[in-house]
Amino acid sequence: MIILSNYELDPISAQLFYVRGKEYVSCPSCGYGLRVVGSRKRKYINKDGDKITLVIRRLKCSNCKRIHHELPDILIPYKRYESCNIENVLTDLKNSTVAAEESTFYRWKKWYEYLSIRILNYFVSILSRLGKKYIIFVNINLMTYLKKYPKWLSRIVTQLVNFNLW
């Protein structure tokens, strides 16, 4: 799976869009080139509660033969709502205007608790892959710090997915 930051949503109909990536992507597993082998539909729910369908490309690596899907950064893998909706609920549940049930909010919070434990370890792994030095701050709550920035959830997920850590 690959998360695109630079893409275009071309409307096919009112609720159907084709995702067109504007950037070159390589295989997150081995770094070789990818070629398009097809497409598939991916549904999600936007902030108004409307169901939108995206047509996303399926890409195959020329080296390791793995299949990857291109997702726009408005989505989180395996989640059915826009990333900004999930982010709004996780940041400020009381003032959230997301069209979803309380049980969905509960599941998102549990998922986030599980994920936040692993995120610091993932970033240490990314930094070591890049050959960067890192310092672990035990007394700083990293997630509280990251929540101050807009699109924080989308940025975190994009890095983890594109480094093949998702």
pLDDT of res. 140: 57
pLDDT of res. 55: 98
- Series of mean pLDDT values for 10-residue runs along the chain (166 residues): 93 95 91 95 92 97 95 94 91 79 92 83 78 62 73 86 82
Per the structure, the count of domains in the chain is 1
| pTM, entire model | 0.80
Range of 22's domain? 2-162
Q: Are 20 and 10 in contact (CB under 8 A)?
A: yes
pLDDT of res. 120: 76
Distance CA 90, CA 108 (A): 8
Structure tokens at 147: 């929540």
pLDDT of res. 139: 47
pLDDT of res. 57: 96
DSSP class per residue in the chain:
-EEESSEEEEEEETTEEEEEE-S--B-TTT--BEEEEEEEEEEEE-TTS-EEEEEEEEEEETTT--EEEEEETTB-TT-SBBHHHHHHHHH-STT---SS-HHHHHHHHHHHHHHHHHHHHHHHHHHHHTT------SSS-HHHHHTTSTTHHHHHHHHHHHTT--
